[in-house]
Amino acid sequence: MSPAMESNTPAIEIKGVEKSFGATKVIQNINLSIAQGERHALIGPNGAGKSTTFNLISGYMKPTSGSIKLRGEEVAGLRPFQINRRGLSRSFQVTNVFANMTVWENLRCAVLWSTGHRYAFWKNVDNLPVVRERTAQILEDIHLTSRRDVPAGLLTYAEQRALEIGITVAGGANVILLDEPTAGMSNAETERAVSLIRRLTEGRTLLIVEHDMSVVFGLADRISVLVYGQVIASGTPEEIRGNPKVKEAYLGEEAA
């Protein structure tokens, strides 16, 4: 049996990861373990290294040292598309879609690799039933059916954020990383986004960076707190709420 098949293998296991830019150590010795099927939130003050951690896990940056395992398999130093093909998909804090292509085409591009069509130049893309079905399903899931033929660049902000999540989950990855999915949204939009995230990540592993504490405590099974490039606490929402170190470093500031 391969390690990925065992359900007690962590979805993501980070051990002793460091990242330096020149002499500046942005991430110092992160250790983090996320179980399969868990919804895990990463919180911390600005500049704590949350986005850098995402960039390291998803292959956007290479760690200076340490190990990152995706369902038991070492992925540190692999390219983003190699990690994506191993079942990890991420979204971006700043909307990062294919602006000149329609909503439909955006989602379809995210489906093509995982349905095995790769770089095929001998197939008609409109004639692939599985691709069509999956794209339509995601389109419906993110409630953008009425905007199907609109170029992504012309969508409203909230619609673009929904599309961003749609692209992230469309490939059917088992591990989903969402970087501040509700940033800049109104309360009503945030509520809708949270229920969307909950539905789309059903049965998958979710790692989410979020500033909105109501989103974090409402969504996450476990929470890790990152301060100055180090995980200072990791636990259930109740444990994090009661942790004095966290209060001092982060939550306390907000309460004050």
Task: Name the site residues for another protein (rule: CB under 8 A).
Answer: 58-59, 79-81, 84-85, 89-90, 92, 96-101, 104-105, 108-110, 112-114, 117-126, 128, 132-133, 135-137, 139-140, 145, 148-149, 167-168, 170-171
- Of the pair 115, 190, the CB lying nearest another protein is at 115
Half-sphere exposure of 142 toward its Cβ, with a 13 Å CA cutoff? 26
Tokens of 38: 């868990």
Beta carbon nearer to another protein, 106 or 243: 106
What's the token pair of residue 13?
């296991």
> Which CB atom, from 208 or from 240, has the smaller least distance to another protein?
208
Q: How far is the CB of 105 from another protein (least distance, A)?
A: 6
Among residues 32 and 83, whose Cβ is nearest to another protein?
83
Residue 153 C-beta: closest distance to another protein, Å? 9
Cβ closer to another protein: 88 or 240? 88
Least distance between another protein and beta carbon 117 (Å): 4
| Cβ proximity to another protein, 2 vs 124, nearer residue | 124
Query: Are 255 and 249 contacting, i.e. CB atoms less than 8 angstroms apart?
Result: no
If the CB atoms of residues 78 and 227 are measured against another protein, the closer one turns out to be: 78
Instruction: Tell me the C-alpha distance between 130 and 167, whole Å.
Output: 16
Q: Is 177 exposed, middle or buried (0-12, 13-18, 19+ CB in 10 A)?
A: buried
Residue 91's nearest CA partner among 199, 197, 181, 201 is: 181
Q: How far is the CB of 136 from another protein (least distance, A)?
A: 4
* Alpha carbon distances (Å) from 97 to 55, 92, 105, 176: 17, 9, 11, 17
- Report, in Å, the least distance between residue 137 CB and another protein: 4
The CA-to-CA distance between both ends of the chain, in Å, stands at 52
Taking each helix axis from N to C end, the angle separating 187-200 and 129-141, rounded to the nearest 10 degrees, works out to 140
Task: Provide, rounded to whole angstroms, the least separation between the CB of residue 38 and another protein.
Answer: 22
Q: Nearest distance from residue 252's CB to another protein, in Å?
A: 36
Alpha helices in the chain (DSSP H): 50-57, 80-85, 103-112, 129-141, 157-170, 187-200, 213-219, 237-242, 244-246, 252-255
Helix then strand then coil, % of the chain, to nearest 5: 40, 25, 35
